[in-house]
Each structure stands twice: as C-alpha cells, then as structure tokens.
Structure 1
Amino acid sequence: MPEFIMNSNATRKPGITMKITLVLLRGLVLPLAVFTSPQLRAAWMEKEVPAKDLTVTASSQYGSGQAVLHLVDGSGMQNGRHDNNGSADTMWHTTQSPKPSSAAPGLPPSPAWVRFDFAQPLQFDAIYLWNHNQANLTDRGFRRTRFFGSADGTNWISLTSPEVIELPRASGITGLDAIVVTKTASTRELKAAVIAAETTDGNYGSDYFGLSAVRFVKGHEVAEADLPIPTAMACAALPYAPFRPDGQPAREIAVSLRDAKLYGAVTIQVDCSGAQEQTVVSANPRGADQFSVLMPASAGVTNECEATVKLQSGRAALQQTITVPACKPRVYYILMHSHCDIGYTDVQPHIAAKQAHNVVHALELIEQTKNYPPGAQFKWNTEGFWQVEQFYKIATAEQKAQFEQAVRDRRIGVDAMYGNLLTGLARGEELLEQLEFSTQLGKRCGVPCDEMMISDVPGLIWGIVPSLAQAGVKYISDGPNASSGMVGDRIGYVRVRWENHPFWWVSPSGNERVIYWGAQGGYSIGHHCGSIRDAIAELTTQLDEWGYPYDIVQLRWTKGDNGGPDEGVMPIVRDWNVKYAWPKLIISTTSEMFHEFEKRYGDKLPVHRGDMTPYWEDGAGSSARETGINRLSSDRMTEGEILWTLLKPQSLPAEGYEEALKNIAMYSEHTWGAYNSISAPDSDFVKAQWKIKQAFALDGESETKKLLADALATRGATPETANAVDVFNTASWPRTDLVTLPKEMKLTGDSVKNDRGQVMPSQRLASGELVFLAKHIPPFGGRRFTLAVGNANAACAAKAESLTLSDSAITLKLDPQSGAINSLRANRLDHEFVDAAANLGLNTYVYLPGGDVTKAQPNGPAKISVKENGPLLASLLVESDAPGCRKLLREVRLVDGLDRVEIIDNIDKEAIRSVEGVHLGFGFNLSNPALRINIPWAVIQPEKDQLEGACKNWFSVERWVDLSDERLGVTWTTVEAPLLEIGGLTANLPRSQPNPRAYLSSIKPSPTIYSWVMNNHWHTNYRADQEGETVFRYALRLHATYDQTAAAHFGVESTEPLIAAPAAGPAPARSLVEISSGPIMITSLKPSADGKALILRLYNTGETTAHASLKWNRVSPKAIFVSDLLEKTGAPASDTVDLPAYEVQTLRAELK
C-alpha cells in the first residue's frame, strides 16, 4: 500500500479529534482525513476492509478476464502498487459505449459505476483507488467521479466535498500508486458505497470505463506492546551519491525489513570508518518496511568501505554490516520520445491525432522549462518523421515556425527514419527513400539529421548502414521490445547480445560505418518503472553488476506506447542534479548524446561487420497477399521513376511518387494491427485497423500503377488496335525477356517483328494472352515491335507432355503423387539438381499445424495436366487438395531461350485461426554448397556474415538466394514471399516467445531451403487468419561456377519485368546512359529536385572492386559530382568509376 508519514508526534489527550496531514510519498492525497490521535506510547495504524466482507457489483463488465472482483481480490497488486497488464486481466472495465444506469434507486444514472455492499455496517476513513492502468489504454480510467454511501441501503449521501472529484489519469506504467479519497461525510457506519463516473467527462476519452483496484481503510490505535516486531533486515548501498546538508557528497543505504512493518518512530545509525550518521524517521500509520538513510560524508563515494547499520524502534533493534562499493561518476542522457505504434492501441487516425498533439505539447513544455537549468530543460525526440508529418497537418503557421526553431535550438531532435520499419521487408532503394523526409527537414532547418531511432523492432538488415551513410546519418539508437518481464517478446538474442554494448557497425563495402547502441531496457523501461528515479536505480544496479565500462548511459524514456511527454521528468532532473553529486541527469536529443559519446569513446569502441538479421518480419506472412503486393509496388515505383526519366523527366510527378512511397513505407512499418488482433479478431476495433493497414498496400499498388501508366501516356495517344508495341528496359544492362500482352489488348495480329524486321518467337496462350520474346532491349532504353496479321511464330523447342517439360536448355519432371519437381537437369551441365535422398522435391507443399515439425502435412494427390504446349512457352499445371487450402494450383513453366524454370503457385487459403504455417520446400542436389542470400546492398552467407544474436530461424530475402558448390549451383528468386528457412522447418515458434534460447543460436549449411509463405504465429499485432487466393512466383537458374553479377541480374529480371505498351509517338530512343561494367549496376536514375541534373545511384553487386565507365547518349553532362540523398554537389567525379564490392555511390550529373 502507499506509504505515509505523520507530520506531528505531539502527545494528545484521548477523545480529542485532530486533522492530520498525510504526506503521500508514492501516491496522491485528495481532501484531508479526520482521525482521532493516538495516546502516548501507542501507534496509529490503518486497516483495510477485507475482500471477504465485500460484495461487489458493477454497471457492466467486458468479460470474465476484466471482472469487477479484480478491484478487491488483490489481482495485479504488489507492495501497494498496481501493474499495467496489457489485457486488463487484473483490472475491471465496462463493455464498449455503456448506456447510463443507476446503482440504486435515487442515485443519478452513470455510464459506469461500482457498488460495494458490506457484510456488516462499518465505518471507514478513506477510499484508496487505483485508476485504470492498462498499458496504452489509461483513457478508460474514471475522471469526474462521485462517491456515495448509504447507512441502510436505501438512502444515499455524498461522501466527499466537493461532491464531484476529478481523479488523475493513471500512468500506464506498472507500479501505480493509489489515489486517496477521504470521506468527509459525518455519517459513521455504512452498509454500502458506490463509485460512479459522471455522464460528462466521466473518463479520459475512451468508449470504455475502468478501474484497477479499490480499498476501504479505517484507522485505529494500537498499544506499543501489541505492535509487530520485524526479525531481520536487509541493507544495500544505493548506486548514487547525494549531497549532504553540508554540501559534501555521500552514499545512501536502502533498509528493508522482513516479517513485519514498523508503525512507530524509527532511528537508524550508520557507522563507517570511524564516522557516524543518524537518521530519525517519523511514525507511519500504514506501517513502513523500507527506509533510506545517509552515510557519513564522503564515505563510499570514491572508495569502497564497510558500513554497519543499526536500527532502533521501540522494542525492535536490528544490525547489519555491508560493503559499500565506490560510486561510479555516470551521466544519464534521457531521451524523451513517444514510441509510435501506428495503430495497435487505437485506430490509425486517432494515433495520428495523438502523435500530432504530442509535438504540440512538446513545444509547450519547451517554453515552460526554458528557465530551467541546462540539462533539465525539456527536449523531445520525434522517433520518426511520420509523427512530424502529422503535426504539420494540424499545426498553425506559428506552430510550424516554433517547431523549426526548436529544431535549430536543439530542443527537438528529428530522427531519421520515416517510421519503425521492418527493414527486412524493404528493397535497397526503399531504405534510402525512407530517409529523405527527415534529411530534407534537417536541411531546411540548418541542422543535419545525423541519427536514427528504431523502437520495438528487434534486428536490422545490414543494408541500413550504407543507406544511412548516403543520408549523412552516423548513429543508431536502438530500443528493442522489452515486454514479457523485460526479456522481450519474439526478439531472440538481440538484447541479450547487444543491449548497452555499443559498437562501430561497418557497412558491407567496409567504407562506411555508424555507431550502433542498443538502449538498456529497450525503449520501454518507463513502462514498468514508475519514474525516472526508479529507472536510474534499476539501470545503475544492472550496469554495476555486469561492469558497464562507460560513464555515459543512454536512457530511453516513453510514457506508454503512443504516450505523450512525461511532464514529471524535468522537475525530477532539476531537483536531482541539486540533490545528487552522481549520477548526473541530462535531458537530451539523441544526436547530442551520440556526439558526446563518440567524442569520449569513439576510438575505444569495438568494430563489427555483418547482418543483424531481424526477427519480426515473420509477421508479414500473416497477410501474404498484401506483402507480395507491396514488394511489387516498391519495384514498380523504381521502374516508373526511371521510365519518367527516359520519357519526360521534367514532368516527373514528385508529389505522386512521395505519396506512393509513404504508402509502401506504411505497410512495411511494424504496426500491423490491434493489440487484440489474435484474441478478438472479429471485433470492430481489430477489423478497422486491418482495413487501414491493408489500404496502405492496395493504395501503393494503385498509385504506382497509375504513375507508370502516366509515364507511358506522355508518348501520346495510342490507337484502338495496336499494330506495334514499345518495350522498355529500366535496368542498366541489355535484356532479353518474355513480354506478355493481355488478352484485352486489341492487336493487329499475332506475328511479331523487331525494329529490324526480324521475326520474334511468339505464342498465344490458353488464357488468351499473347507472349513474345523481346530480344536485346538496350539499357535505359527501348525497342519497338510491330504486330502483323498472322499466327504466332516460334522456331522454339519448349514442349510439355505427361509429367515432363523441356526446352533447348532444360528438362524437368514432376512427381505424379506430390506434383513437386523430382528431376531437373540442364543440358549443358550433366547434373541432376533434385536431391532424391532428401525426399523433398522442388516446390513441395508443406503445411505445419502448430509448432511440432513431426506433424507436418503434404498436399493431397496431384492432378497434372498440360497447360501450355509450346513451342515458346510450355507449362504443366498441378491441381490438388491441400491442408489449410480450398485448392492448391502450381504451374511450372519453361520459356525457350531464357534458360530458367518459372514457378507460379496459387494458394486458395482457408481462414484458419489455430496455429499454422505454409511452407514451400526446395531440396537441391549439391555437395556442401555455399548458401548466399541477397539483402539490400549486400549478399550474406549465414553465420559467416551475421552478427552475433541475429535471427537464424528465418531470413529476409530481397530478391535471390544462390546455392553453389565448387562445380555448379542454382540461383533461386522469389517475387512475393520474403521469408526463407534453411535446412528444415525452423520457423516453428508460435505465440509469445520470451526465452531467447527458443531460437537457433547457430545454423548449418544445407542444400535444402523453404519459402515460408504464410503463418499466423503471433499472439498480437499481426493477423489471426487469411483467406482467398494468393500467388507466389519463383524462378530457378541453373549454372556452373558461382557468378554473383549474373545472380544479381537474374534477381532484378525476375522481379522487375520489361515494360510493354501499345506503341505511341516516335519509336523508343536509344539508351539514355550505359555503364560498361557488369558488376556495377545503376539502381536509380531520376531528375534532381531542382531540375538541373540527373541523379544516378551506382552499386557494385560483385565480390571485388570493379571499374566502370559511363557512356552518355541522349544527354552530355557538363560536370559530374559525388552526391548523396540530399543531391548535394560533392567531390568532383568523372565518367569512370572504381567501386569496392558492395559500395553504393550517388552521382549528380549536371546538365548543360
């Protein structure tokens, strides 16, 4: 229960009433209580009405988990403080939007009330009330509240003055203290009491009402002889050094009693090195079992010492000797921010409003604390740019000016990322584009945006390092999830290995680096520590225990997810720095902290390279269709931007691309849905959030399609019936690939010729589509193909028969039972690529209910038929029933002349809410192959190129995976599905997983991989089920020795098709620009924002340094400079470049 001290020890005569002010050390006292004073040699004690003597009823309750009995049964209570259970399972709350009702005849209607009927009439002095403390949902707590009592159960009176009490909102942090409401009514004994919320402003804005706990308390006098006596005490030196009244630093000792509390005055003496210090603690009517006392001056501050603690209170006398270690002179940098869940705690529009208000409130607190001492003045970190964007939508011109001035004054730190991105879902260019918004704001304010915050999300893709370097960002503040008893949920080893172990993180090329620093306690230590004081005590103890080597400590401080600034921090810091010599507290921006840290320790930090393979990307498999759509949109955005540059760069719709980028980013942002998405998937709250989340993917798709179509429309009007088709290549190397014309397109005929009159292989498919092989399309250019009356023409060798597909390069066979590929050979390699011994063909369907891999299930018997019989394209269609599906369709295709196997899987999913996973297996016949995974701006080999603590149960793939032994190999590409398992069904960890050891700490090389396409493994946030048709496409390229450039090209070709449209205007022009090197590709080509230059992004996909030259055809730049994300003019460059392996370089080509 909350702790009190009485401010008077004077002797009083029996029977005389007096007002005693109760000073609440951890809680809030409302009007003064009236007590009868104790006699001399006695103590005043307070006693609760036991739960067994109460009958509790309520206006309504949400469910059995949120029962009204929780208010009195001790649920969630520990040492007088209440928890912040995320599901309110230790609290009570109403149904949604409750209708007003009366607790008894004669009482006013209330939307939420609780009635307490006492077993026997009783008198009490005060009501202790813990408001609704559910994490992130404290707006359910009672606000304007009435307290009624009845002596007969019929006639009711108000128990307080004033009659309506405004209760403070709970913190949402575990360890909530009580509000004390004192009974001022003169009535003595009552049979019942009612707590009722007002119909207006009865809570803090929610559709629900709730409380955490209620106690009725009565004071009484106890003779000293009857007081309990503790039998032992535990003493520990607190890890800080306060100033004594004489101005000298000293140490403080915490004293905890066992077995019993003390109610009378207490004297505590500390002896150390011949000096003594004595502390007297006043009597406490609620009893006290914890004290803190000062040591003699300077003792234990700079040197270790032995201290003897002696406690005396009435008949109680205890003593203990302890060792007090020297105090570490640390400085805590407090980074105040709101962890932004775009959804989860509320629907997304409400979150936008909350986050916008957080910035407004931050500006108010900056003004309010401008005269505070340095270090105690309020500062705010935005965490991401999305929050700033919401502020700009509602801010006045004056507020916008205030915000930008606060940025210039370093009172607001703008963090680099757009949101808390699941980086493993992003393409390389997408990572870069995420950073543009904050860097542009920093440029406008004259303050470089040089750091990023990432919160909640465990793990980061390695490509984030070169991306940050391109944006001028030098620091990463990481605050991973720290729920589930502060271990973290489904985060593997990230916190175990990297929490408070800052290091230089070197990029894949080795030429860039950033400081990575994982905060102790993640981002959310404030969720369970009641105040900064509590956090300092907890962190300091932890840091001392493992020998933290630095004097600067990063302390992330949030007031619940989506919570606003904690107004209590600034006074605490102001007063702390006056009271304590060490540690010092500084409210800081992230950038300021890192600059000081680098200045002091930059040359001492360890250096690491590798991928911090992330963990939470697995949730994207709960909405596999939308995840695939978003991946395609990201590619389409890059293609469209290049196409605009080729056709009409001066008209590129920058705003349209910005909107599309934001939608793509918002889908990949870590908040998928509501906190109860699994437990209550059919609730309107859950459905509303998913509809908005889904719309990010769907809107990104429609926007990028429109931008691409608009670019093509700049060529002019197209005829109703097409007699020619223009084909464009947005890659930086020549391409030959299949073009598919929809059946709805009116064509002159099926005979296709190139611009030299040569006949191209073509074929009319069973679907009505016309396909043809578009050969030798120049980089950043196009060719026109004419269509003539006549049949498709193809002197090709693709054919399908029974279970076999073949063309001039490849022969494969399907298993008649499973429908998987059980034989795959390349004519030029003389090797069987399917591992018969593994009993796992290529594209094998595997359904795993639950997490027990021994219960994995295959599809039903396969029905195999010829779908396309060549001669250009041949395919076999496999139809089957399959567990978890309404129907499973798998098509395997060969295109003669492309030397690849194409797979198109269509899973018509049933909605299943029990734990499940859908996997597609590929068992290759290779001898101890090296396995390489393409991620943004890098290629990694598991284990070899992973940081310690990285995820090994599943991997995120950008485009391709290669498995190669010393002689030959296969490159495997995935279009829609990003998740990969190696060696087996290692993605088998459903629901909450707080134990890091549940995850693989190592992984062995294997020729077997699985595409993990669907799951509902999570217990929150992600989707409970998914249904309907979802397509997954793969391609296989069989090769001799490993060629990383070829693999990189194949990856892009599999995910970014050639762009074809009815011919319009002049024939496509030749290449805008060409690059001579195979390993170095141009990943982005666009006009500069000022219209004066072209911006090119170069990337060396190879394993060694490469040399390349640029050849300009349609423009002739007057100068070329090294540039960056801000498109600045940097060091002079030329048409020739040398790039180390995996180097990313941006060039600015100034136009004449």
Structure 2
Amino acid sequence: MSSPPWTIFVVQHSHIDLGFTDRQEVITRFHRQFIDQALTLTLSERNAARPAETRFKFTCEGFWAVEQFLAGCGEEKRRRFVKSAQNGAIELTAFYLHLTELLDLGHLRDTLAPAKEFARANDVPLTAAMSCDINGLSWGMADALAENGVRFLSSNINQHHGGYPNGGPLNAFHWEGPAGGRVLVWNGLPYHKANLFGLMGGCNPVGAAGVPGAANMAADDRYVAVTDIGFAERLLPPVLAGLEANGYPYRFLPLMGSGLYTDNSPPTDDYCDLIESWNARHGGEIKIVTATLVEFFAHLEIAAGELPVFRGDWPDWWSDGVASAPVDTLLFRNAQRVKRLAERLDPERRVMTLETSAQIGRKLTLAAEHTFGYSDTSNPKLLSHQVFRRKSKLAVDADEAACSALDDVLRMRGEGEFTSHRPYTYLVINAAGEPCHGLAALAIDSWETRIFEKPFSVVDASGHVYPHQIVPDSRGWQIYLSIALAADEERALTLLPGRANGCSEPHAAPRDFYENAFLRACWSGDAGLTSLVDRESGVELLDVSKGRALGAPVYQLFPGGSRWDAGGFNMAPRRIPRSVIHEGVCRSCAVTADGPVFTTVTAEYSVAGTQSYQTEFRFAHALRRIDVTVRAKKTAEYDPEGLYVAFPFAVSGGVWSLDKPGGWVRPGVDQIPGTCCDYYLVQDGAACVGDPVGLAWTTLDAPLVHIGDTRLWQFQTSLAPEGALYSWLTNNKWECNFPIDCGGNFEFRYAIEAGAHLAQVSSAAARLRANANSFTVIRTGAQTKL
C-alpha cells in the first residue's frame, strides 16, 4: 500500500529585525515598501489568473510593519489593503514585534492591542500569531493570546545559541497559560527553509537544510541563482525521506520563506511559478501550496489528532542579550517602574493620561524588540556603531518619556519649583497601595549642606522628630530616615536647623558582625560576608562552602573561544570552548558607616575582568530588608565572558519561584519540556520558600539569573529549583547582534528579605515586589506649618 502524498505549505513573510541588516530607520522604510509590494503582487492580474493553491499570499509577521505602511499609504491603498486582509490574501497576525522578556505582563498585553483594534475596526480576521527568531515567550502570553481570540501560534525558532522546546522542532502542542488560556502551537523549523529548499527563487545558499534527522547536502559557502525547480528536486525529496525514516508522524510540512534569503526581505511572486512547475511534475507525490498560517493550522487541526498540553513558561534562550547592554537594560527597567509609579500616583489620570501611558508603552515596546545591534559586531565600522547607538536610544527615549511624565505627576502632587529660596519641606508618599515601613531619602544640594553642618532635625506636622542619617551624594546629601506609612498615605516633613537633631553622627566602628531584631550578619576582611542568620528561627541563610561570599564576584572567560562554533547555527553540532572560572578575592570587608538609621558594610574585591569591584550592604536597624549595591568597573574583553554576583543562599528545603510575566515559575518545573534552564529573565526578582523560613530576592537593574550554579553555554533543559542564585551582569557571547565587549562603569541594586513570614510563595512574592519600589519623596514649594 503506497503512502499518501505529502503536502508542503509555503508561508511567505518578511522577518522583522529592527537593525541587524541596516540602520533602524532604513529598516522602517523597507518594511513600509515590502507591504506595498506585497499588496501590488496580491492585486495583480497575473495573480488573479493563478489557481488558488499557487496564488501569491503574504503573512504580515508583525503589526509594526503594517503600522509603517498605513502611516503613509493614502486612503485608496488602505482600502485595498483592508480588502486583501479581509479575504485572506494578506494575513494579519497578532504580535507587534518579536520581543525580549523585558516587558511586564501589562505591557505584553498592550502589544497585542494595535493588531486587535485594527482587525476589529476593519472586520479583518485575527486568529494567528507568528513568532520568529526568538526562542521563547513569557508564560502570560498564552493567556493574553487566548483572551484576544488568537487560537494559533506558529513558532519558528532560530536555534543559534538556543534551542527548541519539546525535544526539537516539527511537532505540535497546546500551550496553556497560568490562567488556563490555550493556544495551538506549531513548533516549526526556522524561517527561510523554503528558500533553502529552492522554492522561493532568487539567490540561494547551497548546503545543509538544517532539518534534524534528515538527509542534508554538504554545507559550503556558495550561492546560486534559483530559476527553476532543479534545486528543489535535489534537496526536498531526500529531506522528506529522512523525516519519514526518523519517525516523523505527519504527511505535511509547513515551510516559511521570503523573497530573498535575508532578514528584512522584500516579497516575491517567483515562488508561485516554481510551485506550479513542481506540482505539474511531482504533485502526485509531493504537493506544494502557497498558504497563510490560518490555512496551515486548519489542516493541522484536522490531521494532527490528539496533542499534548504543556502548562508552563517558555524561557527564551535569547534573553541573554539583555546582559550585553547592561546600561540599556537598567534604563529600560527604570522606565517601566517609573511609568507604573506615575500611573499609581495619578489614578484619576489628570496628568498621566491614557494617551501618555500608551506613548511610553510604545517606546518600551520598541526598546524591548529582540534585535540588539548589527550582524557583524566585531567590525568597528560606522554602520555597526550606528545600529547599536540607535538601539540604545530606544531605551533612553523610553526612560526620558517615563521620567518626564512622572515629573508632571509629581508637580501635580505638590512638588515645588526650583527657586533660589526653596524651603526645606518635603512630602513622603507611599504609592504602594498597602502599608509600608521603609527608608525615605530627603535630598539637599551641595550649596545647602553648609546650612546643615550644625545640628538639625527632621520633623513632621505633629512635631515628631525622626532620627536621621546623612549620606554624601554627588551633588549634595541624602538624608535618610525610617518611616512607616499607611497605604497611599503621604506625610509632610521639614528640615529644621538648630533644633535637637535626633541624630548621632555616623561613624565606622570596627567590628565583624551586625545584628538587629531580625537578622545577624558576620563577615571577615579576607572572606567577605559569610553568614546571614534569621534571628527568629536561628536558621543560617548562606552556604559559602564553595568559597563564594554574599555579593562576591564570579568571572567566567572563554579564552580564544569561537562564538560561532558554540552557537550551532542551522542544527550544526555545537563545539563549546573551554572556560576558566575566576573567583573574586576579598581584599577588605568592614563597616563604612554606622548611624541611627542603618549600618553600611562594604566589601572590596579583585577579580579578573574588572578594574574594581565593590559590594555594599545596608542594614536598616528597624527593617528586615538588606539593600545590596554592586559597583563594578568592567574592563573591555573581546573573548566570550560572563560576570556574575553570587547570592549563595541555602534556605532549608527551599524551592525557587521566579517572578515571570503572568505567574510564578519554579525553574525546571513550571516550564515547557526542553526549554532553557541555563538562565532566566525575571521581573522584580525571585522567592526561595522553605521551612521554616522563606527569602525574597529583589533585583532592580540586572534581570538575568542562574540557579544552582553558573551555566553559560551548557544548554541545559532540566534543573532542580534549589541552591544558590547568581545575578548575571554582563555577556558578550554572540558573534553577532550583541556588543563585542561589555566594558563600563556599572551599578546594580538588589534587596534581600528573609524570615518565617515569607514561608509561602504569595507572601514572599508580595515582599519582593514591595522592595522593588521605595517611597516617593518630593520637595514641596511651601513651608509646612508646625
């Protein structure tokens, strides 16, 4: 009995990289042109005369490209585009761009709104999404897609420096979100496979097709002009035979293609003629059709039978890119926090209007797009610098817009003008929506510090005097005090010179421990901070048996390592270079400030890859929270490397849960099988919950973490959610897209809180998120009456 014929679905699209192949503004113009070209090809008389199965069709990979087209197309072209989208000749998909995991859930949901609103307003179907290049999506996206009526997700992973879920490509599953929403996923081959099989025409590379388990031609560096089906005849049948021999269960295969074998590619209708020629000769055994995603998924739903359901996160291997640009990432995360703060401080939207929020959200989305730079990062030519600097500008623009919006909101909330006679009056605001006890910092400028060199007090309207502590800053002083505020409470404070100051001058008494009602920390000058005990339970929270103290640096270098060989492009075997681990050597660890509000302990380290490295611990006397600040002067290194901060926690029975968009994820447990376990990108932090205590770890600036140990280039897909945590600061492990070095002067901020009150994930989660936000302090314009 003969086997049924194969059906090959060829889906044409243009992969969107904002950068990588050219300057971002050039890419923008290109994609506007591409959709215009696709519309022309769709509406041509030649296309109308073709049979439906070989007719030109075009899938818009991201709605961002559609926006660029619509912004300048004119009313008649807009009408034609809408009509073509309504009848399926041009396919609208749900995603805006291909994103990193930097966006929080609210902003992720917002990225679906442009396509959804356009589809609703113009009666255009919108049931599919297309993910290309990136190796994963935040768990909450499954719910967001389902909530917006999107039933299908085509995943076309570029496994270079990454990998596929579920053991490899060419399978289907249902992906379930934390709230129960489901989408049907085709876990497909990378895009451009239709080009590699010779089905799109144009200039085409010769060599391996990159299909696992299939027969492949030997790879070489030649390109050939494909003008007929001869190339496809040599390559496609052996590949399909190889799939059959290796147990591929289906007689259909979707292949993505573009007009040219390049990212940011124009469309072509050459494939229509090639497919027609193929079917005339081989259609009885292997039938090829032009298709949209929805047409393919309609076939998949009928032919695939019962499919597994995977409920969990889909960690993206490509999230490592955010550590290649640590300053951009810092600015992005600040912008996202500041935007949320401005919205909380202005719930009636008097200043922070919905349109202002949307504008900032769009800037955040562009900054979170997955392309970091140019395709050849080792080349110092002008174009490479242009692409990287424009990428950085997107984060700068988002931060500027968010901070400007907050400035306007704070002015509405009572911030005074900068005048030559500003009163020393302040307003401390708790915008958290729940009671909070923490530190507030009142700022004075350098020329004002002379006034307060003599005793002064910090008082509120009731006359209560707050103990305070002075910290010199670049442009003056920060005056810290401990204060408790109810939910949404604001409290007016005044600096009064010449009154009882409530402050003992900070000093640095030599000692090797710190203790308050909640914790005890011990350190030594040559080992760093090596013990942290929860006093209520007596539980030790650190395990320094590896010689890594709390906040110590770990530096990994791959001397002479080939980034390309480690990447495994196009299913090539990976060759991981040898790495050398450099442990930080503690040169000193001592009290550097000791006052009525907090004690500061500073550890100085020497470690390869840096000119200097310092970890500062701030222990507030009235709080459980420890603030940790790492400052590193990173030297430029052009071999692959990684710099980490060790947090050697050892919570008894502790299991890590990570703050991911949409839900809390136990690494190695709550994720799709076969996905990245080397590292994770978190939002506000991670919680380690055990018995009898739990721990909340908050990160403000550096979102990438390794669990258990450093795992750069291990390509692990299984993990126990326990052990130490490592904050990944810098990364230059790619030969393209990432900066070739990560030199710079950096600061990274964290907060740690532990205790029996955090022995549940929900309570630990609440605290780590609260610790990501401090009190808002403004200097007001009128003297507070006492």
- How do 1:133-172 residues align onto structure 2 when only pairs under 5 Å count? none
Unaligned runs of 5+ in 1: 1-302, 305-325, 482-487, 990-997, 1068-1152
Q: What is the deviation of 1:1058?
A: 2.7
Partner residue in 2 for 1:787: 494
- How do 1:246-285 residues align onto structure 2 when only pairs under 5 Å count? none
User: 1:933 touches 1:962 (CA, 8 Å); kept in 2?
Assistant: yes
> Bigger CA drift: 359-368 or 456-465?
456-465
Q: 1:862 to 1:586 in 2, by over 3 A?
A: same
AA aligned to 1:589 is T
User: 1:928 touches 1:1007 (CA, 8 Å); kept in 2?
Assistant: no
The structure with more helix, counted as a fraction of residues: 2
CA distance in 2, matches of 1:527, 1:1065: 69
Q: What is the deviation of 1:478?
A: 0.6
Q: 1:603 to 1:854 in 2, by over 3 A?
A: closer
Does residue 1:934 correspond to 2:659, yes or no? Answer: yes
SS in 2 for 1:435: helix
AA aligned to 2:39 is L
Q: What is the deviation of 1:1044?
A: 1.7
CA distance in 2, matches of 1:796, 1:413: 69
SS in 2 for 1:691: helix
User: 1:439 touches 1:448 (CA, 8 Å); kept in 2?
Assistant: no
> Bigger CA drift: 717-726 or 877-886?
717-726
CA distance in 2, matches of 1:438, 1:517: 21
Does residue 1:713 correspond to 2:428, yes or no? Answer: no
User: 1:625 touches 1:1031 (CA, 8 Å); kept in 2?
Assistant: no
User: 1:963 touches 1:1007 (CA, 8 Å); kept in 2?
Assistant: no
Match of 2:709 among 972, 981, 984: 984
Match of 1:1051 among 768, 771, 774: 768
CA distance in 2, matches of 1:432, 1:937: 10
Match of 1:743 among 427, 444, 448: 444
- How do 1:540-689 residues align onto structure 2 when only pairs under 5 Å count? 540-550=240-250, 552-558=252-258, 559=260, 560-574=262-276, 576=278, 580-581=283-284, 583-598=286-301, 600=302, 604-646=306-348, 649-677=349-377, 679-680=378-379, 682-689=380-387
> Bigger CA drift: 537-546 or 743-752?
743-752
Q: What is the deviation of 1:774?
A: 3.6
Q: What is the deviation of 1:603?
A: 6.5
Partner residue in 2 for 1:763: 469
Q: What is the deviation of 1:455?
A: 0.6
Unaligned runs of 5+ in 2: 201-228, 560-576
User: 1:843 touches 1:920 (CA, 8 Å); kept in 2?
Assistant: yes
CA distance in 2, matches of 1:984, 1:467: 33
SS in 2 for 1:1055: coil
Cα deviation, 1:420-479, whole Å, max 9, x if unaligned, reads 1123x3322222222222222222222253322111111223222123234332221110
Q: 1:865 to 1:889 in 2, by over 3 A?
A: same
How many residues end up aligned between the 2 structures?
716
Q: 1:402 to 1:905 in 2, by over 3 A?
A: same
Does residue 1:1062 correspond to 2:779, yes or no? Answer: yes
Q: What is the deviation of 1:555?
A: 2.2
Does residue 1:455 correspond to 2:158, yes or no? Answer: no
Partner residue in 2 for 1:345: 21
Partner residue in 2 for 1:876: 601
Match of 2:627 among 873, 894, 902: 902
- How do 1:38-437 residues align onto structure 2 when only pairs under 5 Å count? 303-304=1-2, 326-328=3-5, 330-368=6-44, 369-423=47-101, 425-437=102-114
Q: What is the deviation of 1:766?
A: 3.1
CA distance in 1, matches of 2:467, 2:699: 26
- How do 1:832-851 residues align onto structure 2 when only pairs under 5 Å count? 832-850=540-558
Q: What is the deviation of 1:500?
A: 2.0
Match of 1:812 among 503, 521, 540: 521
Q: 1:366 to 1:792 in 2, by over 3 A?
A: farther
AA aligned to 2:52 is P
Partner residue in 2 for 1:888: 613
Partner residue in 2 for 1:1020: 736
Q: What is the deviation of 1:568?
A: 0.8
SS in 1 for 2:765: helix
Q: 1:1065 to 1:575 in 2, by over 3 A?
A: farther
Partner residue in 1 for 2:584: 859
Q: State the structure with more CA Rg.
A: 1
Does residue 1:479 correspond to 2:187, yes or no? Answer: no
Partner residue in 1 for 2:693: 968
Q: What is the deviation of 1:543?
A: 4.1
AA aligned to 1:514 is V
User: 2:177 touches 2:311 (CA, 8 Å); kept in 1?
Assistant: yes
Q: What is the deviation of 1:505?
A: 0.8
SS in 1 for 2:80: helix
Cα deviation, 1:688-709, whole Å, max 9, x if unaligned, reads 1111011111111111100111
CA distance in 2, matches of 1:729, 1:586: 60
The structure with more strand, counted as a fraction of residues: 1
Does residue 1:500 correspond to 2:170, yes or no? Answer: yes
Partner residue in 2 for 1:828: 536
Partner residue in 1 for 2:193: 525
TM-score, normalised to structure 1's length? 0.59
User: 1:891 touches 1:903 (CA, 8 Å); kept in 2?
Assistant: yes
Does residue 1:1029 correspond to 2:732, yes or no? Answer: no
Identity across matched positions, percent:
24
Q: 1:815 to 1:409 in 2, by over 3 A?
A: farther
Partner residue in 1 for 2:681: 956
AA aligned to 1:367 is L
CA distance in 2, matches of 1:341, 1:954: 24
Higher RCO (C-alpha under 8 Å, 6+ residues apart): 2
CA distance in 2, matches of 1:359, 1:773: 58
AA aligned to 1:1038 is A
TM-score, normalised to structure 2's length? 0.85
AA aligned to 1:691 is R
AA aligned to 2:268 is D
AA aligned to 2:199 is S
User: 2:651 touches 2:695 (CA, 8 Å); kept in 1?
Assistant: no
Cα deviation, 1:301-354, whole Å, max 9, x if unaligned, reads xx33xxxxxxxxxxxxxxxxxxxxx233x4433221001111111121111111
Partner residue in 1 for 2:402: 704
Cα deviation, 1:1037-1074, whole Å, max 9, x if unaligned, reads 1122622222222222232333222346999xxxxxxx
Aligned Cα root-mean-square deviation (Å): 2.9
